[in-house]
Structure 1
Amino acid sequence: MKASCVVGFDGTRHVLWRDGEVVIEGSRVLFVGRGFPGPVGQWIDYGNALLGPGFIDLDALGDLDSTVLSMDNGDENAMGRMWSAEYLARGPQESYSFDEEVFKYRYAFTQLIRNGITTAMPITSMYYREWAETYDEFAAVAGVAAELGLRTYLGPCYMSGMQYLQADGSRAEHWDEARGLAGLDAAERFFRDFDGTRGGLIRGALLPDRIQTCTPALLQRTAALSRELAAPVRLHCCQGPGEVALVKALRGKAPLAWLEELDLLGPRAVLPHGIYIEGDDDLARLAHSGASLVHCPVVFARDGEALDSFGRYRAHGVNFALGTDTCPADLLDNMRQGLNIARLKEGGSTQTSALDLYNAATLGGAKALGRDDLGRLAPGAKADITLFSLDGLHLGPLFDPLKNLILAGRGDDCIASWIDGRCVMQDGQVNGVDYASLQRQAQRQFHRLMQSHADRAFGQPDWRTLFQPAIPFADAWSADRPLCTLASPNDDKR
């Protein structure tokens, strides 16, 4: 492949080749630079584009994103997102059918590829589940990932508890230890059956839900299994003051100290989001452990929250990966907003650079996974390659392609993607996917998801009353009119 700009790796850092070449053979990179001396079966010239390593998203949305429902919608507790005591007493139910659960991953994985993400560790919401995820579901999800060609770290999420809302507005915890341990058994079975399959494209991971929804026994067994299988463990922690207070109340320690006690704080630990860390002692503990933080700046900034200093964490030696955790699945947007937020929090531009965020999306994610063959383009590395067009008018006049993309680029500037040496997207089209059909089915499912909010809310109100648009609707809702009009090619135009 040829492009006007190629991001290579010199063994220590990314370097930029002007009018560069990348030669791949099978699933591996053979050469990066200029003037390849050997025979080549086919040259592909991508012209004015940035050819670089694929992005790694370690908190990748695998769902139909519901944050649009809670945005500027008042008290989230009243909208039926969180379980109510009434709902818990009646017995939680699945919001989707089995096929719909699998479809949401197809929809999300397509979005990831479309935005230049080549390696993903997906995340979905448990509020819409009867309990947690299942082995059979993920056996099907692995098939979807392999069909699309996305490199994934998969496993059913498991948990031993769930917070719910009481009638007085306070929160309480519901525990089911047996169900949590059964979920871990399913995760182990999935790992043993699927890790390394599809030519290594599918890898296993242990994915407990959140630190406050897991009991000591569940996390202790997770730690032991991680050691036995050499499996990465992703655990959401330090992401809110309520979580930190609850962990202290239940376990007598702050989250990171508790994980250290459980022997879960180590190089295989992948921890979104790490915003609420208690001072330099916790940062030193985190850095010394070798654990990685997954930084997801966009989704937290929407609620007015942010990491206090990306640069300070890095100065302590903390390894950062990046995640999206919401729609759009745009890591360029997360780099841009992450950079801006870091400089606002740090009061200047000296502690955090654009390259720091790009490194997190590539080399940092690879380090978190223990992979020295991902996140870089060098001989022997996996041929996970993305091409971002530099022709867009919105990018402005070019000086440095990476700076232009981080300042003004967007995920759909990605025009081609290769994963494991296979072209999975060309000219912005993911292979084998009908975008219009995909969007129509997603809209139908999302309509059902909105309706399910009424079941979880106290009193099971009319679901139409639970969501407020940014601009008030001019007419009243009738019983037969959906909140969103679903257009199809056969619908009358109106």
Structure 2
Amino acid sequence: MTGLDDLTLGQRPDGRTALAARWIVGHHEGRHKLLEHAEIVFDGDRVIHVGAPFVGEVARRINLGDVLISPGFIDLDALSDLDTTLLTVDTGPGWATGRVWPQAYVDRGPYEMYTPDELAFQKRYAFAQLLRGGITTALPIASLFYREWGETVAEFEAAADAAAALGLRVWLGPAYRAGGMVCTAPGIVEPRFDEARGLQGLAAALDFAGRVGGSHRGLVQAMLSPDRIETCTLDLLRRTMAASAEMDLPVRLHMAQGKMERRTVQALHGTTGPQWLARHGLLHNRLIAPHAVEAEPEDLALYARHGVTIAHCPLVYARDGEMLRSFRRCRDMGINIGMGTDTAPADMVLNMAVALMMGRAAEGDDRGLTTAEVFNAATIGGANALRRPDLGRLQPGSKADIAIFDMADSFFAPRIDPVQTLVFGATGRVTKAVFVDGRLSMVDGRVAGMDMHAARLQAQAQFDRLLAKYPERAFGHPDLRTMFPPTFA
């Protein structure tokens, strides 16, 4: 009998490894099943057994005791920078607090507010945090507000190397756009377009996809990431969707996500974002559309008809009093829903808890959403969006992407059903260990190649340097204390 500490962090153990646990969320006949006093066995990158104690030969057997073994979570909108949305939780509006470029900043020339090394570091730091919360698959998302324009191939090549070094499964693609929003007067926000620059971004993203997709033994895959629908032109989106079909790549496009977007798209195209895309035949089942909090009934009907996935990120919206209306309605329409984090803390368990509460609030009773449905969204829903039946579930033949949660944690008392207890406990900090592709990627908060204490200090210093530059790109250039006053004077 061995323990997790006998395994080498950052490596895949040789031979068959059996993990025994009080509870395992296995998968059988198309759905999750809760197994008690069970074992999971994996060999290399694949699960070969889930269920009763395994009778075959194994290289090692690890009795984990009072834990819940789960499929690793799939984050379709995974925070991968140092989250600037936290600055607006108690302040606003966005045009006055650096969330929209003022005309004066555009005239002087936008610039990269992070160095290349800082851009690479924030990806490594964010990826490590995702692993520490039980997330094994991530589609990174970062803000473009502090960028010169879009994301670069160089930083995503560094991100691919970081994911491989840390042991995180990722779908990567630098975000590109054909326009941006500019504040010309208090409360007046207008789109400005440079389509040629957007098409250059798409060409670079396609070259990146062709070179990097499937690398690092399949741990790194490619996707296309046009930024937001109000910053994209029709030609850019047509070419994006054509390339998605030709190369079989998922596309993540933020739409039906905010009031500024709705006003802008209505002014530009006379309709909503989803209806504009449908008018031009650009909705499809490879499309992942985060949020949908501003989706109209016809938008949702189009999502259902064309197989579009909603990436549900409830925490970042609940902070502003907004919600998806509703999870139940979307599921009843047959829309696939996956989960995302999109803000700090990048905690999928917390997002499931908020999803459960907001989903019930949207419907007015506890029938609005079940624990099983949000757990399915964080696992099966994400796998379905990526069209990867070997992810998001634990069954023979699936990838050995495994999260282990400590159900003996002193905060979990009284404990009832372990999945319900985990979700209502509302924290992924009880994640004890994570295997990705059969490799031990995290154990007891430790990630291979990362000193998390030193990294946290570096992250804070980097964020503080960025914050000091905020007045340059806020309308009227107010000082920081005016923009972001403390909770108490």
The one-letter code sitting in structure 2 at the alignment partner of 1:189 is D
Residue aligned with 2:39, SS: strand
- Aligned residue identity for 2:71: P
Residue aligning to 2:10: none
Moved more, 51-60 or 400-409: 400-409
Quote the residue 2:486 is aligned against.
469
Residue type matched to 1:216 in 2? L
Choose from 337, 351, 354 the match for 2:368.
351
The alignment status of 1:394 with 2:404, answered yes or no, reads no
Please give the alpha-carbon distance, in whole angstroms, between the structure 2 residues aligned to 1:322 and 1:270.
11
Aligned to 2:179: 161
What's the offset of the Cα at 1:461?
4.0
Aligned to 1:226: 244
Q: Quote how far apart the aligned CAs of 1:464 are.
A: 4.4
- 2:9 maps to none
Pick the aligned partner of 1:253 from 271, 289, 306.
271
Question: What does 1:315-464 align with in structure 2 at a 5 Å threshold?
Answer: 315-464=332-481
Equivalent-residue separation in structure 2 for 1:397 and 1:248 (angstroms): 51
- 2:136 aligned to which of 98, 106, 118: 118
Deviations 1:355-386 (A, max 9, x none): 10000000000000010000000000000000
Q: Which residue of 1 aligns with 2:24?
A: 6
CA distance in 1, matches of 2:453, 2:269: 49
Question: Counterpart in 2 of 1:195?
Answer: 213
1:92 corresponds in structure 2 to: 110
Post-superposition offset of 1:74: 4.0
What are structure 1's unaligned runs of at least 5 residues?
473-494
1:72 Cα offset (Å): 1.2
Aligned counterpart for 1:204 among listed residues 208, 222, 229 = 222
The residue aligned with 1:82 is 100
The residue type equivalent to 2:81 in the other structure is D
Aligned-pair CA distance for 1:107: 1.1
The answer to whether the aligner puts 1:268 opposite 2:286 as a matched pair is: yes
Q: CA deviation at 1:409?
A: 4.1
Letter in 2 for 1:390: M
Q: Match for 1:339: what amino acid?
A: L
1:173 aligns with 2:196: no
Q: Distance in 1 between matches of 2:482 and 2:416?
A: 51
Flag the 1:322–1:75 CA change in 2: closer, same or farther, 3 A. same
Match of 1:133? 151
8 Å contact kept, 1:219–1:262: no
TM-score, structure 1 as length reference: 0.93
Q: Which residue of 2 aligns with 1:20?
A: 38
Q: Does 1:242 align with 2:263?
A: no
- Could you tell which deviates more after superposition, 28-37 or 461-470? 461-470
TM-fit CA distance, 1:77: 2.1
User: Partners in 2 of 1:65 and 1:395 — Cα distance?
Assistant: 29
Between the aligned partners of 2:228 and 2:47, the Cα distance in structure 1 is 37
> What is the CA distance between 1:258 and its match in structure 2?
1.5
Mapping 1:16-95, distance limit 5 Å:
16-95=34-113
Q: CA separation in 2, counterparts of 1:7 and 1:327?
A: 27
Identity in percent: 47
CA–CA separation in structure 1 for the residues paired with 2:260 and 2:483: 24
Across the aligned residues of Structure 1 and Structure 2, the Cα RMSD in angstroms comes to: 1.2
Give the superposition deviation at 1:137. Answer: 1.4
Shift in Å, 1:440: 0.9
Q: Which runs of 5+ in 2 are unaligned?
A: 1-18
* Counterparts of 2:203 and 2:311, CA distance in 1: 26
Q: Corresponding residue for 1:483?
A: none
- Using the TM superposition, give the Cα deviation of residue 397 of structure 1 relative to its aligned residue in structure 2, in angstroms: 1.9
For 1:291, give the aligned amino acid: V
Q: Quick one: which amino acid aligns to residue 421 of structure 1? A: G
Structure 1 residue 246 displacement after superposition:
1.6
Instruction: Look up the SS of the partner of 2:118 in the other structure.
Output: helix
Which residue of structure 2 lines up, in the alignment, with residue 489 of structure 1? none
The residue that corresponds to 1:302 in the other structure is 319
Amino acid at match of 2:323: A
- CA drift of 1:36 comes to 1.3
Q: Distance in 2 between matches of 1:311 and 1:324?
A: 20
Q: What is the identity, as a one-letter code, of the residue corresponding to 1:255?
A: G
Gap change, CA 1:399 and 1:462, over 3 Å in 2: closer
> What whole-Å deviation, never above 9, does each CA across 1:406-457 have from its counterpart, x for those lacking one?
1114111001000000000112212221111101110110111101101102
Is contact 1:296–1:324 with CA below 8 Å preserved after alignment?
A: yes
Equivalent-residue separation in structure 2 for 1:158 and 1:21 (angstroms) = 45
Measured against aligned partners, the alpha-carbon deviations of 1:91-113 in whole angstroms (never above 9, x if no partner) come to 00111000001111111111100
- Quote the Cα distance in structure 2 between the aligned partners of 1:74 and 1:124: 20
SS of aligned partner of 1:44: strand
Once the two structures are TM-superposed, the CA of residue 37 in structure 1 deviates from its matched residue by 2.0
Q: Tell me, what secondary structure is at the counterpart of 1:174? A: strand
**Distance in 2 between residues matched to 1:457 and 1:270, nearest whole Å:** 31
Is the partner of 1:198 in helix, strand or coil?
A: coil
In 1: Cα distance, 2:95 partner to 2:108 partner: 18
Establish whether residue 286 from structure 1 lines up as the match of residue 296 from structure 2. Answer: no
Distance in 2, Cα, partners of 1:273 & 1:262: 22
Distance 1:119 1:436, change over 3 A: same
CA distance in 2, matches of 1:439, 1:6: 33
SS, match of residue 120 in structure 2: helix
Q: Deviations over 1:274-302 (max 9, x none)?
A: 112222x3322211211100001110011
Partner Cα distance (2:300, 2:223) in 1: 25
Residue pair 2:262, 2:272 contacting (<8 A) in 1 also: yes
* Greater Cα offset, 190-199 or 456-465: 456-465
Greater than 4 Å deviation, 4+ residue runs: none
Task: Answer whether contact 2:97 2:475 (CA < 8 A) is retained.
Answer: no
Deviates more, 1:281-290 or 1:314-323: 281-290
Are the structure 2 counterparts of residues 74 and 191 from structure 1 closer, same or farther at C-alpha, using a change threshold of 3 Å? closer
Q: In structure 2, how many angstroms separate the alpha carbons of the residues matched to 1:287 and 1:78?
A: 37
Contact preservation (8 Å) 2:26, 2:394:
yes
Distance of 1:417 and 1:324 partners within structure 2: 18
Which residue in the other structure is 1:476 paired with? Answer: none
- SS of match in other structure, 1:394: coil
When you count strand as a share of all residues, which structure comes out higher? Answer: 2
Query: 1: distance between equivalents of 2:301 and 2:91?
Result: 39
In the alignment of these two chains, the number of paired residues is 471
Query: More displaced, 407-416 or 181-190?
Result: 407-416
